[in-house]
Amino acid sequence: MDRSADVVAIYDDALPCVYGYLRSRCGDARLAEDLTSEAFLGALGQARRGVVDEVTTAWLIGIARHKLIDHWRRAATRPSPDDLDRIDDSSVADDPWDVVIDRWRVDEVLAGLGPHHRSALTLRYLDGLPVPEVAGHLDRTVDATEALLVRARRAFRSGYERTGGS
């Protein structure tokens, strides 16, 4: 069943959510705009083919996540620190100073990790995906992904301790 009209109907409400999701992860407004366009075009294609039962904002954000992962693969570069899902910056002003400093340390450590470690940690812990889904996104087996996550956590912990974190 063609659901492309449903994508058009939800567009105005979903656009800020999809763009915000991508913007918070890629740190580049132009890239977020491009990926948002790709996500909606991909959604229209899937809706026309009848791949989706219900068009929702969550479904569109899932498509956006896939577009971002595809971008990271094509770019073959490390994502910047802004590629990670962060707490809304407006809440930082209310945080105690030590929490703000800790967040800077986390960003610094994540920025220093290799792209596979950063991608795995982002998908697993920031996006909250289960290991099998992370494995699918990274084109790895579940066992290889679990091993990657062990190494990524170890690398993160080591880097975090070097920056003075506890």
Helix (H) or strand (E) holding 114: none
| 81-166 has the same fold as 1-76 | no
Confidence category of residue 85, pLDDT binned at 50, 70, 90:
very low
Q: State residue 140 phi and psi, 5-degree precision.
A: -130, 165
Fold of domain 1-76 = Rna Polymerase Sigma Factor; Chain: A (1.10.1740)
Distance between CA atoms of residues 69 and 13, nearest Å: 24
Mean of all residue pLDDT scores within the chain: 79
Fold of domain 81-166 = Arc Repressor Mutant, subunit A (1.10.10)
- 19 Cβ contact partners less than 8 Å away, ≥ 6 residues apart: 32, 33, 36
What is the pLDDT averaged over residues 141-159? 92
- 143 Cβ contact partners less than 8 Å away, ≥ 6 residues apart: none
What is the pLDDT averaged over residues 30-39? 90
Q: What count of other Cβ atoms lies within 10 Å of the Cβ of residue 146?
A: 17
Q: Answer yes or no: is pLDDT of 78 > 70.
A: no
Confidence category of residue 131, pLDDT binned at 50, 70, 90:
very high
Lowest-pLDDT choice from 90-94, 100-104, 133-137: 90-94
Distance between CA atoms of residues 79 and 73, nearest Å: 10
Question: What are the structural domain ranges in the chain?
Answer: 1-76, 81-166
